[in-house]
Structure 1
């Protein structure tokens, strides 16, 4: 019982791998995982558990750099990052400390205000007294990491299934943010990315000289809890329920108490005695009659509103800050959704240059389906072409047929790995599959030629000797391929990474599993004794 297993364990291992690939491809538990209430897009559904990338599913790909300048090798002189940011911002007329990021770990400082030029940034660095080596285009790694997390949060909050965000580097050393969202058109993706997502509450109030605005009464960091966008129960409009933080470090006033005091100081309780009182900012922004709360997104006032009398009274009496809850109201449900997304995801630390250095590409679902069909046809043609050449070369079914079956098993195993890892299959990945078929058949031809080169194989000892000679050649070729492909796999080069990953994975499967299994099959078919 154990002897057949011992003599044919390579074949059994190949069978186990094929069975494992079948489970990964077709078992429901390995399918795309979704959150409660989330639906997988039609492009991600199918008979198998394979997930398709943008090329085959359709959707939008945006590749753009973050706008800014970075001073390198900065000598902080022991100062804290916040102090460094404020000192540099003081030397810039059109930037604040929030536009400056000082990163001691990188010995770098970047500015992300789009109106600041390189010359102005250099002058500010010189005037602030911090020595530096050079100023380059682009932002720090920390800023890129924050931007990536924020965009991922935006995609998650919007419910775009299958969206991915990654940082890629060009051959010239420039860094880009690469965003891919299957099943979505270009306008919806770019509009989501182009807004920095800065949400704040201001107060507009009447004065003798017209309307004055008290800015940044509440910012995104001041909210402790954020609800989902909801439609008003009565009438039109929508709202986002929020709770303002009522805690603060010792000696400081909490955001809830600061907001409560600002509302009380501007006379909301006196202005809004009944539900008939209203805010007229949208009609007369230069001369309001009552104080108004202004909801701004990216510096633009998107809505203005008054205050419920009971809420105004609770703030005037000082009791509201204990709870800290109220509603951000808007005229449209879509606007409420946008506000909720921006509040949850936070603000992008820098603008994406989509219209300048950036590129975007949109593929329709129908076009993606065509690519999928063409890829399938190309793969089938490649298999038939290889099979035909092998039969012409050997004219021996006992040699050629196992060769084709083994090569196909190798590709099938790769598909199983793709399903198991939920790696999106794209054109570059399919190109890797085709490359694996080519290199795999080459290796199998080397084995067959070496084994049959000196006539009949009359014993297992003779077969093993010839097979080992062939395997040394195959091993050296595999090592060369892995070394050549490794830089493409580890560098952030977009689609080339997928091609390299599956080419290397295919080579490893071939050397460790399919080539030895093919050797076992040939030994059983060709040896006389």
Structure 2
């Protein structure tokens, strides 16, 4: 038989070999199939041997489920459209913020241009439904107290979920995941972070991350005034936390977008900052009325105050600084710089989480290590048990050995998929793998029994006929399993979701790759060449 003919006859086996090779590369090659450097580090204890990531059950860590603070009214009709609708939304937001005396970022109006409607939200627990309704009426929106709903909109929850996931990735927390869950009508943001204590995870989640650069300068009457100069959206590229060894300070390098950079440069010149460099004594009562300080403000708290450097002042005076827009946000410590960099990269948390009503679940790393060892032991025992039963059942190595190897290949391919997708494996996934081994061997037994139903088979035509009959049975069973598991894989049902996903993936890999390959191997071993 020619090489091309041999490939055509055994293409299913070759396909299995290709998938196994890709899976092994994804599992063990540094960087995996995608190659290149990782965007964030993996768990140090595991990255040296493989590319798998583990969740709470196998790595330890903390899970916090917390509702979002806020209330809202949705789908309120407004007599405006286009840019007028956007302008009307800004007016409503400003009026609500003023009436309720809200902090920056505690009010939000979303506009729906298609229907000419707005949704208004406030993110604070210090306002009653009656007060919110009254503020909306003051803004020209006819709503009653019973129209106000507790909680925030789905769009806001999605924003929060995305921001938290970005924060976790920027912080280098491998294997973490963020999701949403609904319990008794209340929506929760669920954050899982392996290798983190409850205090560490809560510290990461409790900051809104609203970053501002505020100009603090004399008001001309012996006092000082504050004016917001730059907000989070004004920054373009954001660097990592750095240290200036010559000057001895920590900072985050950023680049200001062209438009805001021009406005910032002009404001610095007009307010006297460029004429008064190195003249910041923030917090000194004796210097009141003569301070020219740039304040780095996070969530309304001043974390650093510093003067304008002479070189920066000269560049702004000449109108050159805005061409590049490079800026250093100085912080008092390296930890503050790292936190600031994460907040800037991930963006601000749209609304705060209510930790007073949060549910916390924690597994110690030592206990998780036991779970990991037990999972490995159970997996090995399952393989050995299945192998023994199969060999006793057939007593023919030509049938039993390919069956065992094919079943193990299915597990390796699934592990490769998990490594490729950076899926954090947990105890539910381990249960799925064990189920895949069992159901996979069941299907292979069906193939072997059908093929050997009337004794040895020497004719390839007879073999193909029997194999197709067995494969129809396997295909129908696979379709039933996928249909049954699909709701569990889609709905937020905790650990059941991981079990369902692995089971579905295992069934697909089996039907499309491993079962056909096993059929080709049996045909080659049992029929005349």
What TM-score, normalized to structure 2? 0.80
Q: Distance in 1 between matches of 2:326 and 2:525?
A: 79
The alignment's TM-score, normalised by the length of structure 1, stands at: 0.80
Q: Give the conservation status (yes or no) of the 8 Å contact 1:196–1:350.
A: yes
1:216 equivalent among 216, 220, 228 = 228
Measured at CA, do residues 314 and 45 of structure 1 come closer, stay the same or move farther in structure 2, by a change above 3 Å? closer
Partner Cα separation in structure 1 for residue 395 and residue 131 of structure 2? 75
Cα distance 1:406–1:211, how it changes in 2: closer, same or farther (>3 A)? Answer: same
Q: Please name the residue that 1:113 is paired with.
A: 124
Distance 1:75 1:496, change over 3 A: farther
Q: 2:207 aligned with 1:195, yes or no?
A: yes
In the alignment, is residue 146 of structure 1 matched against residue 147 of structure 2? Answer: no
Q: How far apart in 1 are the matches of 2:315 and 2:472? A: 83
SS of the residue 2:73 aligns to = strand
Partner of 2:179: helix, strand, or coil? strand
Considering only aligned residues, what root-mean-square deviation do their CA atoms show, in Å? Answer: 4.1
CA shift in 2, pair 1:246/1:259, >3 Å: farther
- List alignment gaps of at least 5 residues for structure 1: none
**Matched residues in 2 for 1:114 and 1:456: separation?**
76
User: CA, structure 1 residues 136+441, in 2 after alignment: closer, same or farther (shift >3 Å)?
Assistant: farther
Specify the alignment match of 2:266 in structure 1.
Answer: 257
Q: Secondary structure at the match of 1:90?
A: helix
Residues 62 and 192, structure 2, Cα contact 8 Å, conserved in 1: yes
What is the CA-CA distance between 1:58 and the residue it aligns to? 4.2
Q: Cα distance, 1:296 vs. partner?
A: 2.1
Structure 1 residues 82, 436: CA separation in 2 closer, same or farther (over 3 Å shift)? farther
CA distance in 2, matches of 1:423, 1:189: 20
- State how far apart, in whole Å, the 1-side matches of 2:103 and 2:439 are: 57
Aligned mates of 2:455, 2:302 — CA distance in 1: 86
Deviates more, 1:437-446 or 1:355-364: 355-364
Distance, in Å, in 2 between the alignment partners of 1:32 and 1:43 is 22
Q: 2:150 aligns with which of 137, 141, 144?
A: 137
Matches within 5 A, 1:156-305: 156-158=169-171, 160=172, 162=174, 164-170=176-182, 175-204=187-216, 212-223=224-235, 226=238, 228-234=240-246, 236-241=248-253, 247=259, 254-263=263-272, 269=275, 279-281=281-283, 283-284=284-285, 288=288, 290-293=290-293, 294-305=295-306
Q: Which residue of 1 aligns with 2:70?
A: 68
Structure-1 separation of matches of 2:483 and 2:309: 68
Q: 2:197, 2:362 within 8 Å by CA — same for their partners in 1?
A: no
> Which digits, 9 at most, give the CA deviation of each residue in 1:279-322, with x for residues without a partner?
151x549x83532533321111223344556767887x685875
- Return the alpha-carbon distance in structure 2 between the equivalents of residues 325 and 24 of structure 1: 39
Over 3 Å counting, the alpha-carbon distance change for 1:199 and 1:420 in structure 2 is closer
Q: Structure 2: which 5+ residue stretches go unaligned? A: none
Q: Is the 8 A contact 1:246 1:257 kept in 2?
A: no
Render the CA deviation track for 1:172-209: whole Å, top value 9, x for unaligned.
Answer: 67554444444444433332221111222335567899
Cα 1:75–1:354, aligned 2, differ >3 Å: closer, same or farther?
same
Match of 2:443 in 1: 443
Report the Cα distance in structure 1 between the residues aligned to 2:330 and 2:528, rounded to whole angstroms: 86
For the pair 1:86 / 2:91, whether they are aligned, the reply is yes
CA offsets, 1:357-384, max 9 Å, x none?
Answer: 35353542x4444332221111011112
2:180 partner SS: strand
Distance 1:157 1:355, change over 3 A: same
Q: Distance in 2 between matches of 1:182 and 1:335?
A: 23
Are positions 1:102 and 2:110 aligned together? yes
Cα pair 1:217 1:262 within 8 Å, conserved: no
Q: Find the counterpart in structure 2 of residue 490 from structure 1.
A: 490
SS of the equivalent of 2:121 reads strand
C-alpha separation in 1, matches of 2:30 and 2:236: 39
Structure 2 counterpart of 1:339: 340
2 CA distance for matches of 1:269 and 1:462? 95
Higher deviation after alignment, 333-342 or 103-112:
103-112
Distance 1:313 1:88 in 2: 39
**Are the equivalent residues in 1 in contact too, given 2:68–2:189 (CA < 8 A)?**
yes
For residues 174 and 14 of structure 2, what CA distance do their matches in structure 1 show?
A: 36
Instruction: Report the CA distance shift for 1:163/1:263 in structure 2 as closer, same or farther (over 3 A).
Output: farther
Aligned to 1:474: 474
CA displacement at 1:446 relative to structure 2: 2.8
Distance 1:394 1:424 in 2: 38
SS at match of 1:348: coil
Relative distance call for 1:236 and 1:508 in structure 2 (3 A) is: closer
Deviations 1:228-282 (A, max 9, x none): 5443445654344556556369xxx823323432346xxx957x7xx6x65151x
Corresponding residue for residue 348 of structure 1: 349
Q: Shift in Å at residue 226 of structure 1? A: 4.9
> Does the 8 Å contact 1:403/1:444 carry over to 2?
yes
CA distance in 2, matches of 1:24, 1:37: 16
8 Å Cα contact 2:66-2:189 kept in structure 1:
yes
- Where 1:77 maps in the other structure, the secondary structure is coil
